[in-house]
């Protein structure tokens, strides 16, 4: 009697206690592992003597009492499985209206083993909690090679039922009167399985998101009034239609990044062709260098389209070489020469080397009057726009300041695809390349 009680105590220790898991395989634990295996063998013997004959098959080959105890109660229970294509059981005694299976169907389990279907039948799952009559499982396969009873979610749905999984239970319901919830992700049914395809669904899901706040952030914290116009008039492909945007929404990133002085008055002069007039300005040095060691950003704006290019510099002396790089790039791309360059009186633009190069290539240089940055307002405002959007992104996501160069590069990409102001509908990208930009990949 004493030996029997000790073995049963070992059994519960191995199921619920500290001995449920075998000790780690290390030289230090060699003796402990040996004792655990002896104790486990005795406990498994006790488990087989405690359970009834119908559960023996479920614990015959298990390696620990914890697994055997948990598996012993699946003989009559059904596992609701969304990865199972058809109802199936190994216990034909559970079924009624049993009939032979004349097809050649087989069940493939997770270990890639093949188990043929022998018979078919029906089964009623009774509900002991509610007053409902239970669920009838039709055309259940009898597969002797299975170890569990499986209820297919797709087959339940084919009979007009709905399956809801909760953290602690699962419900099979019908006759839904009202269901209200936030849809986080939508999968598709393929044959008898429900598939969540990240590769197909990510762009579709994120692109069709109707969150005003999300698209406000994606488009560089664009103003809500402009965002409403973009959505309503479909100025950009990929932006969903918003029913109503509340103007009283407060964005913390915008509050931080868009604080500035009163804007300069807009100039009434405007170029009539691409590269007829290019505005340029240099910002820096920044207090925080970028990850690549940049301290300056050079901005160049086409007056006709308002399309913007940015270049990053380690030293101010690189301005001349960056301008040559820009000139060769745009003139080759558009087949038009730069006719006029408007800058301030910074030394990087006033050097003999820079002025002689412009003179040799018939580029007229327009310099602002001293202490009058308004005369180069296009480039000044563009830098302010780039900076405010960059700071909004960095502040909103708590990103390190060393990412400012990458943020300004991304900001420039976004700004070129936005209408420059409320009075216009075409973006700089559309004005330059003559087709509407697609921002669904944002």
Q: Given CA atoms 328, 333, 339, 344 in this order, what sign does their dihedral have?
A: negative
Please tell me the distance from the alpha carbon of residue 68 to that of residue 40, in angstroms, as a whole number.
11
pLDDT single digits (tens) 286-303:
999 999 999 999 999 999
pLDDT single digits (tens) 21-73:
677 788 888 888 888 777 777 776 666 665 555 444 555 555 555 555 554 45
Q: Above pLDDT 90, what percent of the chain?
A: 33
Residue 336 lies in a domain: yes
Question: Do 324 and 424 belong to one domain?
Answer: yes
- pLDDT the model gives residue 65: 54
pLDDT single digits (tens) 383-415:
999 999 999 999 999 999 999 999 999 999 999
Question: Do 393 and 313 belong to one domain?
Answer: yes
Q: Given CA atoms 182, 184, 190, 194 in this order, what sign does their dihedral have?
A: negative
Looking at the structure of the chain, the number of domains it has is 4
Question: Do 345 and 427 belong to one domain?
Answer: yes
Residue 215 lies in a domain: yes
- pLDDT the model gives residue 127: 58
Report whether 192 contacts 155 (CB < 8 A): yes
- pLDDT the model gives residue 273: 94
Angle among Cα 295, 298, 302 to the nearest 5 degrees reads 165
Question: Do 189 and 211 belong to one domain?
Answer: no
Residue 89 lies in a domain: yes
Q: Angle formed by the axes of helices 404-415 and 377-396, to 10°?
A: 120
What number is the average pLDDT over the span 70-85?
A: 72
Look at strands 78-81 and 149-152 and give their pairing. Answer: parallel
Please tell me the distance from the alpha carbon of residue 78 to that of residue 87, in angstroms, as a whole number.
9
Question: Does the pLDDT value for residue 128 go beyond 70?
Answer: no
With bands split at pLDDT 50, 70 and 90, how would you rate the model's confidence at 264? low
Residue 61 lies in a domain: no
With bands split at pLDDT 50, 70 and 90, how would you rate the model's confidence at 421? confident
Report whether 156 contacts 86 (CB < 8 A): no
pLDDT single digits (tens) 189-214:
888 888 877 655 555 555 444 578 88
Question: Do 315 and 232 belong to one domain?
Answer: no
Question: Do 220 and 191 belong to one domain?
Answer: no
Structure tokens at 323: 């301008």
Question: Do 356 and 313 belong to one domain?
Answer: yes
Report whether 439 contacts 239 (CB < 8 A): yes
Please tell me the distance from the alpha carbon of residue 222 to that of residue 126, in angstroms, as a whole number.
57
Residue 100: strand pairing partners? 119
- Give the containing element (helix H, strand E) for 173: strand 170-173
Question: Do 287 and 405 belong to one domain?
Answer: yes
Burial class (CB in 10 A: 0-12, 13-18, 19+), 139: middle
Question: Do 285 and 429 belong to one domain?
Answer: yes
Burial class (CB in 10 A: 0-12, 13-18, 19+), 26: exposed
Closest CA to 156 of 147, 148, 165: 165
Structural domain of 41: 11-51
In angstroms and rounded to an integer, the radius of gyration of the C-alpha atoms of the chain is 36
CATH number where 109 lies: 2.40.70
Residues in the chain: 442
- pLDDT the model gives residue 51: 54
Please tell me the distance from the alpha carbon of residue 39 to that of residue 60, in angstroms, as a whole number.
17
Residue 107 lies in a domain: yes
3-state secondary structure of 235: coil
Residue 366 lies in a domain: yes
What number is the average pLDDT over the span 95-113?
A: 83
Question: Do 295 and 219 belong to one domain?
Answer: no
- pLDDT the model gives residue 19: 58
- pLDDT the model gives residue 208: 45
**28-30-31-36 Cα dihedral, nearest 10 degrees:** 120
Q: Angle formed by the axes of helices 319-334 and 352-360, to 10°?
A: 20
Residue 131 lies in a domain: yes
Question: Do 151 and 108 belong to one domain?
Answer: yes
Structure tokens at 258: 């868009």
- pLDDT the model gives residue 333: 94
Residue 318 lies in a domain: yes
Cβ count near 277 (within 10 Å): 22
Please tell me the distance from the alpha carbon of residue 59 to that of residue 334, in angstroms, as a whole number.
76
Question: Do 241 and 294 belong to one domain?
Answer: no
pLDDT single digits (tens) 8-20:
455 545 444 455 5
Min mean pLDDT across 27-41, 136-150, 310-324 is at 27-41
Question: Does the pLDDT value for residue 5 go beyond 50?
Answer: no
């Amino acid at each position: 009697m004493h030996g029997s009680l000790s073995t049963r105590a070992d059994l519960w220790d191995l199921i619920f206690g500290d001995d449920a898991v075998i000790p780690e395989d290390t030289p230090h634990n060699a003796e402990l592992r040996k004792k655990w295996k002896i104790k486990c063998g005795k406990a498994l013997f006790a488990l087989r003597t405690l359970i009834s004959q119908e559960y023996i098959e479920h614990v015959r080959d298990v390696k620990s009492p914890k697994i055997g105890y948990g598996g012993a109660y699946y003989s009559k229970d059904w596992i609701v499985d969304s990865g199972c294509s058809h109802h199936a059981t190994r216990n034909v005694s559970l079924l009624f209206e049993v009939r032979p299976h004349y097809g050649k169907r087989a069940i493939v389990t997770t270990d890639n083993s093949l188990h043929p279907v022998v018979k078919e039948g029906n089964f009623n799952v009774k509900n002991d909690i509610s007053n409902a009559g239970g669920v009838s499982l039709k055309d259940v396969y009898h597969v002797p090679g299975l170890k569990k009873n499986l209820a297919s979610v797709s087959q339940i749905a084919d009979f007009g039922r709905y399956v809801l999984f909760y953290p602690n239970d699962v419900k099979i319901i019908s006759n839904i009167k009202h269901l209200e919830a936030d849809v986080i992700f939508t999968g598709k049914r393929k044959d008898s399985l429900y598939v969540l395809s990240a590769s197909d669904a990510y762009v579709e899901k994120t692109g069709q998101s109707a969150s005003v706040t999300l698209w406000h952030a994606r488009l560089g914290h664009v103003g809500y009034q402009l965002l409403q116009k973009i959505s309503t008039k479909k100025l950009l492909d990929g932006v969903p239609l918003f029913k109503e945007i509340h103007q009283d929404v407060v964005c913390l990133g915008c509050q931080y990044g868009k604080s500035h002085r009163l804007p300069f008055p807009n100039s009434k002069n405007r170029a009539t062709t691409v590269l007829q007039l290019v505005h340029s300005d240099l910002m820096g040095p920044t207090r925080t260098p970028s990850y690549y060691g940049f301290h300056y950003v050079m901005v160049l704006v086409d007056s006709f389209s308002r399309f913007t290019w940015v270049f990053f510099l380690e030293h101010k002396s690189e301005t001349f070489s960056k301008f040559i790089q820009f000139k060769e790039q745009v003139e080759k791309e558009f087949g038009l020469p730069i006719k006029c360059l408007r800058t301030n009186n910074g030394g990087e633009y006033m050097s003999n080397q820079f002025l002689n190069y412009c003179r040799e290539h018939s580029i007229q240089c327009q310099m602002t009057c001293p202490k009058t940055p308004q005369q180069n307002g296009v480039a000044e405002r563009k830098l302010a726009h780039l900076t405010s959007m960059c700071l909004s992104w960095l502040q909103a996501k708590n990103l390190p300041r060393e990412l400012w160069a990458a943020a300004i590069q991304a900001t420039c990409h976004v700004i070129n695809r936005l209408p420059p102001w409320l009075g216009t509908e075409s973006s700089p990208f559309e004005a330059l390349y003559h087709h509407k930009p697609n921002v669904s990949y944002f």
